[in-house]
Structure 1
Amino acid sequence: MSKEKKNVREAALELLEAVEKNQSYSNLLLNHFIEKYGIRGPDAGLLTEITYGTLQRKQTLDFFLAPFLQKKVEPWVRNLLRLSLYQMVYLDKIPDRAILFEAVELAKKRGHRGISGMVNGVLRSVQRRGLPSLKEIQDPLERLSVATSHPRWLVERWAEQYGYKTAKEMCEANLAAPVQTARVNMNRTTVEEVAKMLGQEGFKIQPSPVVPEAIRSLKGNLARSAAFREGLITIQDESSMCTAYALDIQKGQHILDCCAAPGGKTTHIAEKLQGTGSVTALDLHEHKIKLILDNAKRLGLSRVEAFAMDSRKAGSRFAKESFDRILVDAPCSGFGVLKRKPDIKYVKSLKDIHALQQVQLSILSEAAGLLKPNGILVFSTCTVDHEENAGTIETFLAHHPDFEPCALQVPEALHSYVADYYRLQIFPQDFGGDGFFISSIRKKA
């Protein structure tokens, strides 16, 4: 059966609407749309660029559009204007006349003559009069918020937690396109062999300067490579790879991964066990358990088991003090992955952060009873919020005197980033990876 055809901008507009209406994650929808409409090659690249770009810069685009909109417009029309303006302002290779033509044609198809005329008029006025200057905004925090399209409350919070300079660097880093990275399955091959194999496939590969078993793809989607299909690599961010180091894994250990899907950390742990011991992975959703097991199978890892269950009830399935190591990669606000999921910054709130910390503490408390004396518990998140990160682990330690901070093991390149010897906060501007927090604590013998 042939796939329904849509041009790139029509698909982009539909995608932006779906993100806004359903609060769906753009990264998941994007892959769905590429398959649904059979978008391939350069068109898939353009769809990714204009969709992510428009989402990333939404507040800035609205600031630019404000002087040209005399009255309220329907959400789809605003998204069409944002989409078109993004291309006019931020993309060099597409001529304005082509952008205007596409916008007007889409407006005619979706609306009526009045709407297409208005869209044409707004975009031509932008061409004629130019854009308002961000320098008009006097308040530095408001200017940073609008210039980088981060909600004001979030910019204020980061500036308060880390200082204006770090907050500004973080906001700017979140606008950069993420570099795809992968972990080489060192049980089956080497970084050099994989790099050579990928090079022959037409990929442009660079060894990671951060994690010894990691590579970066400067050209090509590694998920479509033979190396991926054959289980020689796993797509995973470099920051995320550091959690397996933090566990200080020894052969023969039994390790629990409490919030495991899609299985990147679970399989990294299994690889470091080198065919000994076992890894038990937990996740709330049955379909995600299948994903974890499929990943383990693809990588040739046999000592992985996975169960669909709430980690806050793990004590009902497992014996007390039965694991040597436990990883709690906890649910979080996700403010460290805004390069990949730009829509998060518009939907999360301060209330979410407070609620998430309570969930994190519940999982940690349950995990605490399952850890052997002298065992290591690693707590990690893909966020940069102090309350969810250092705040959570400090609260846990205050209520669990049988635990103490433990020297954090990380790749050598990150030694200088470790704070208070047991905690690591990675920012997206540090080396281009995700914003990530890792801490290591030990159960007293």
Structure 2
Amino acid sequence: MKPAPGVALRIAATQTLGVVLQRQRSLKAELAQRLPTLRDTRDRALLEAIVFTAIRGQAQYDAALKAWVAKPLGRSDDELRTLLYVGLAQIQMGLPAHAAVDATVEATRAMGRTHQAGMVNAILRRALREGLPEVAPEATWPEWLRKRVQRDWGDAAQAVFAASAIPAPMWLRVNRTRIDRAAYRARLEKAGIEATMPAFPEDALVLATPVAVSELPGFDEGLVSVQDGSAQCVADALAPKPGARVLDACAAPGGKSAHLLERDPTLQLFALDIDAQRLRRVHETHARLGVGANAHLLAADAAAPDTWWDGVPFDAILLDAPCSATGIVRRQPDVLLHRRDTDVESLCDIQARLLDAAWTMLAPGGTVLYATCSILAEENAGQIDAFVQRTPGAVVEPLDARFGRESGAGRQRLPGEDGMDGFFYGRLSKR
């Protein structure tokens, strides 16, 4: 006998969350597989919301379970703990008791844990009565990472933790080759979707309330993309000259290279990614937006130009480097679950190799934009400072305050500043 729809969804949420928590699988990757199995878009949205809320609220739930459960839950209780997280997340979301409690209790039985259904019911109803314990926003950050953020940002660290603990707004990028920004905003309003038009970046809209991509008018026709404001600023920070030969060295999933082509279809743009499968996403993105005819896609390693580069220098290079992703925790909360302190050193080595390789391919007078979605100084300001010191002819080109606060030779936006994700920009020219 199949469980009721509400019960099936709670089981799916528990299974999804369990894979992320116990098997260290990427939340984004797991949702990409799980969500298409749900027919109803409302079910997809609810499952996604439950899992995101559960990951963000894990420290609170652990505090509650520590206080309310006589015998601490061990490793053998992982599935039970995950079920409780799913239930507590629904309470935190404000779902009605019959949905948050009853369906989760029934899911407990359906998963073969009938003997623990009473316990789940009691804990969830206590949470309804008493609320969840308050915990500091930084409690979700591993100690090693929390200390690095505090070291790098001092008094601003608390704001980083607080901003990273809440969901991000939904930013859109209007495809100016197909529709004017004001005209698209009017289409949104006609569809009952409220949006504001920030002064910068100039192709952006911000939704008052996030919606499913399927609800965005003209999305399939390429009128608009979902992209945070910080990522949209990359096009302004690089600002290639009309018709320039441009390399996007780490292009997947393709939003930034597409934006450059939307700004200037005459660019000779090469989009490179080391992962051929991810490069297919670049192709799909470009095709939907109608800019694919203007891009050359290559599956290759940007750090090894000898294996693919034809020797013709580039006028501008975008290096959106692999990084710790510590600036986008509010969008990808599982970053705090998966990141290890040893990762940062490895990432810094990769970033340095990519910078050095990009420099060899840059034409005299050309520009490299180094960008990350990290907030760690060693990946950002420290990386640029070290590069300039070891590279004759490398000149820092200052960016203005639209790109965030001064940070060494670049600009750093911290999470939540200007409503955007955490992001670093460092612009260099070749003398």
What TM-score do the two structures reach when normalised by structure 1?
Answer: 0.88
* Equivalences for residues 208-287 of structure 1 within 5 A: 208-219=198-209, 220-222=211-213, 224-273=215-264, 275-287=265-277
The share of aligned pairs that are identical, in percent, is 28
SS in 1 for 2:148: helix
2:168 to 153, 175, 178: 178
1:22-421 equivalent positions in 2, closer than 5 A? 22-41=23-42, 43-69=43-69, 70-73=71-74, 74-88=77-91, 90-95=92-97, 98-124=99-125, 126=127, 134=135, 143-146=136-139, 149-163=140-154, 165-219=155-209, 220-222=211-213, 224-273=215-264, 275-301=265-291, 302-320=293-311, 322-408=313-399, 414=402, 417-419=405-407
Classify 1:278/1:289 alpha carbon distance in 2 versus 1 (closer, same or farther; 3 Å). Answer: same
Return 385-394 or 193-202, whichever deviates more. Answer: 193-202
Tell me, yes or no, if structure 1 residue 12 matches structure 2 residue 3: no
2:404 and 2:413 in contact (8 A); partners too: no
Secondary structure of the structure 2 residue equivalent to 1:279: strand
Cα shift at 1:157: 1.5
Cα separation, 1, equivalents of 2:216 and 2:196: 15
Q: Distance in 2 between matches of 1:223 and 1:87?
A: 24
Contact 2:196–2:207 at 8 Å: present in 1 too? Answer: yes
* Unmatched runs of 5 consecutive residues or more in structure 2: none
Q: Is the 8 A contact 1:179 1:432 kept in 2?
A: yes
Query: What is the identity, as a one-letter code, of the residue corresponding to 1:414?
Result: R
Per-residue CA deviation, residues 360-394 of structure 1 (Å, 9 max, x unaligned), is: 01111111100001111110001111111111111
User: TM-score normalised to the size of structure 2?
Assistant: 0.91
Tell me by how many angstroms 1:83 deviates: 1.9
Task: Note the alpha carbon deviations across 1:135-157, whole angstroms, 9 max, x for none.
Answer: xxxxxxxx5532xx222222221
The answer (yes or no) to whether the contact 1:327–1:377 under 8 Å persists in 2 is: yes
CA contact (8 A) 2:315 2:366 kept: yes
Distance (Å, rounded) in 2 between the aligned partners of 1:418 and 1:191: 30
Distance in 1 between the 2:322 and 2:241 partners? 27
Deviations, residues 220-273 of structure 1 (Å, cap 9, x unaligned): 334543422222222211101111111121112100000000111111112222
Note closer, same or farther for the CA distance 1:99–1:287 as it changes in structure 2 (3 Å cut): same
Whether the 8 Å CA contact 2:371–2:425 is kept in 1: the answer is yes
CA distance in 1, matches of 2:127, 2:110: 23
Instruction: Write the distance in 2 (CA, Å) between the matches of 1:277 and 1:231.
Output: 19
Residues 212, 159 of structure 1: alpha-carbon distance in 2 compared, 3 angstrom cutoff: same
Residue 232 and residue 76 in structure 1: after superposition, are their counterparts in 2 closer, same or farther (change >3 A)?
A: same
CA–CA separation in structure 2 for the residues paired with 1:263 and 1:436? 17
Q: How many residues align?
A: 422
Range with bigger deviation, 285-294 or 299-308: 285-294
CA distance in 2, matches of 1:184, 1:385: 30
- SS of 1:261's partner is coil
Q: Which runs of 5+ in 1 are unaligned?
A: 135-142
Q: CA RMSD in A?
A: 2.3
Q: Is the 1:315–1:369 Cα contact (8 Å) retained in structure 2?
A: no
Asked if structure 2 preserves the Cα contact closer than 8 Å seen for 1:267 and 1:296, the reply is yes
SS at match of 1:44: helix
Contact residue 180 and residue 221 of structure 1 kept, 8 A: no
1:140 corresponds in structure 2 to none
**Whole-angstrom distance in 2 between the partners of 1:130 and 1:305:** 55
Distance 1:321 1:419, change over 3 A: farther
State the Cα deviation string for residues 414-434 of structure 1 (Å, max 9, x = none): 1663455x5110111202211
- In 1, the alpha carbon distance for the partners of 2:294 and 2:241 equals 15
Task: Supply the distance in 2 between the matched residues of 1:223 and 1:124 (Cα, whole angstroms).
Answer: 36
| 1:295 partner letter | T
Cα contact 1:263–1:292 (8 A) shared by 2: yes
When residues 107 and 236 of structure 1 are mapped into structure 2, their CA distance, relative to the original with a 3 A threshold, is same
- Given that residues 198 and 227 in structure 1 are in contact (C-alpha distance below 8 angstroms), is that contact kept between their aligned partners in structure 2? no
Change (3 A) 1:229 1:303: same
Which residue identity is paired with 2:118? Answer: G
